[in-house]
Amino acid sequence: MCVVALKGNELIEAFHLLQSGGSVPEEVRAILKLSFFDKLKIKMGFPKYIGDFTNDGWSGNLPFYIVWCHWHKIFFIDYPHGFDNHFHCPKCLEEAEKLRARLADGKWI
């Protein structure tokens, strides 16, 4: 259960803000802060559960996690997707989108 009335997207924005040196309200920082051991565990492949949150257009809540992207070397927040409960790194999604656009334009390479 989570006492902070934040939407998932707002939490993700707050996390980006915090990662780039900005400040967020203390109760939000408490949810998002990572200890040394948290970081170690996450990097070893064990995402940290931070609570159930909703987003606009959702009928309920989903569990949100802080995850590590081994490719981009960043922490990010996401909820499990698909049957295999995978996570989407925002930078991986961005690169996939650029690749799709290049392929659609016939500009491969």
User: CA 5 from chain center: how many Å?
Assistant: 18
Are the CB atoms for 51 and 2 separated by under 8 Å?
A: yes
Question: Which residue has its beta carbon closest to Zn ion?
Answer: 89
CB of 98 to Zn ion, least distance (A): 13
Q: What are 91's two structure tokens?
A: 């930078």
Residue 4 or 34 having the CB closest to Zn ion: 34
Residue 28 or 77 having the CB closest to Zn ion: 77
CB of 16 to Zn ion, least distance (A): 14
* 69 Cβ contact partners less than 8 Å away, ≥ 6 residues apart: 75, 76, 89, 91, 92
Are the CB atoms for 67 and 89 separated by under 8 Å?
A: yes
CB of 72 to Zn ion, least distance (A): 4
* Contact set with Zn ion (CB under 5 A): 69, 71-72, 89, 91-92
Residue 30 or 96 having the CB closest to Zn ion: 96
